[in-house]
Amino acid sequence: MGDPISRIRNLPLHVMLVAECGEDGEIVGIIRGCIKTVTRGNKGSTPCPVYVKIAYILGLRVSSQHRRLGIATKLVEKIEEWSKTNGAKYAYMATDSNNEASIKLFTSKCNYAKFRAPSVLVQPVHAHYKPIASDIAIVRVSPQLSESFYRRIFASSEFFPRDIDDILDNKLNLGTFMAVPKKTLLNWDPKSGSFPSTFAILSVWNTKEVYKLQVRGISSLKYAACLGSRVLDSWMPWLRVPSIPNIFKTFGFYLLYGIHMEGKYGPRLMKSLCAFAHNMGRKDGECRLLVSEVGLDDPVREAIPRWNKFSWGDLWCMKKLDVSECHEDDDWVESQASSSSAIFVDPRDF
């Protein structure tokens, strides 16, 4: 099982609850939760970000022999009670948009509303090196400067964490990088705190140090085809064969977050930045995938390389925990419309 709270350990306020059955206390269900303060988008004409305390619910599991007994609903209710006690105004969960059982539980039984539908984009890490255009420079940005940039870029977005500085200083954060035209470096100093006229930016989170994955149950024919693609890519890297990495043994992945681009060359710069991240993963023997999650309408979505077969649509459902506290026009869930197409995905949630 590994570390049961690995996915929430990096958040300052977290909990894991279990459901027990019988005199011997057999564990038949489990749920995890964490609380953080995030932006909910700008309200009205104010340029300042509006922060709210929110609970993230994840890792709900009930043993197959004890399902349809109300255990999952009870676990959700208990984690909501814990969240309210610790000051959370809202709670949300994320699931695959095709996970009908989970969606039905939260929307029909627990009164959550379908809220956002971001895209999870997955790119394999190939054996070959991905070239970066000679007229593009990749600049590493310090955590302090990254914080300043991100607070300005995502001020009007949703789910941007107030403690972004803790994320950027975390040992799992492998760095923040900007791609800019090389000619820009003649007139732009990254330490100045100003933005160049066109750029792309992202950070890399080392998720493989939190948990690892493994794909099982494929046919021998598919396994042989995947192996063949890797061998060919290793022997003749100049062909740039789109090989499938060895995901049939335990592996990890890098999460790309804080993804943003601006200006005329933004899409091209973002593709180069993703190629740079790919090459980082290529040097790491256990990183087999690059994963990112962005808003469905975020322009950056089209610039991020991915394999559609490995990617999927996510669904975030949200609930206001205390409906008596504020008016309907102040309800984040009821308002639905966002002031920005960008959603900041906290790497600690992944």
Q: What pTM was estimated for this model as a whole? A: 0.92
Task: State the pLDDT at residue 14.
Answer: 94
Bridge-based pairing of strands 90-96 and 51-62 is parallel
The residues that bridge with 290 in the sheet, in sequence order, are 123, 254
In order along the chain (350 residues), what is the average pLDDT of each group of 10 residues? 72 93 88 95 68 95 89 96 96 95 95 95 95 95 95 93 96 97 88 89 95 88 90 89 90 96 96 97 93 94 94 96 65 74 91
- Would you give the end-to-end CA distance of the chain in angstroms? 17
Task: State the pLDDT at residue 1.
Answer: 43
Task: State the pLDDT at residue 48.
Answer: 77
**Gyration radius of the chain's alpha carbons:** 21
Structure tokens at 231: 């061998």
C-alpha span between 303 and 292 (Å, rounded): 12
Q: What digits encode the pLDDT tens for the residues 243-290?
A: 999 999 999 999 999 999 999 999 999 999 999 999 999 999 899 999
Torsion-angle region of 184 (φ positive above 0: left; ψ -120 to 50: alpha; else: beta): alpha
Task: State the pLDDT at residue 330.
Answer: 73
Structure tokens at 188: 């732009």
Task: State the pLDDT at residue 350.
Answer: 86
Q: What digits encode the pLDDT tens for the residues 175-231?
A: 999 999 999 988 888 778 789 999 999 999 999 988 888 888 888 998 898 999 989
CA distances from 292 to 11, 51, 67, 91 (A): 20, 24, 32, 22
Segments in 58-212 forming alpha helices (H): 71-85, 100-104, 143-153, 164-169
Torsion-angle region of 68 (φ positive above 0: left; ψ -120 to 50: alpha; else: beta): left
3-state secondary structure of 95: strand
Kindly list the structural domains of the chain, giving each domain's residue range(s) and its CATH number in brackets, ordered by start.
13-117+314-345 (3.40.630.30), 121-303 (3.40.630.30)
Element (H, E) at 178: strand 173-181
State the DSSP string of 245-272: P--SS-BEEEEEEEEEEESTTHHHHHHH
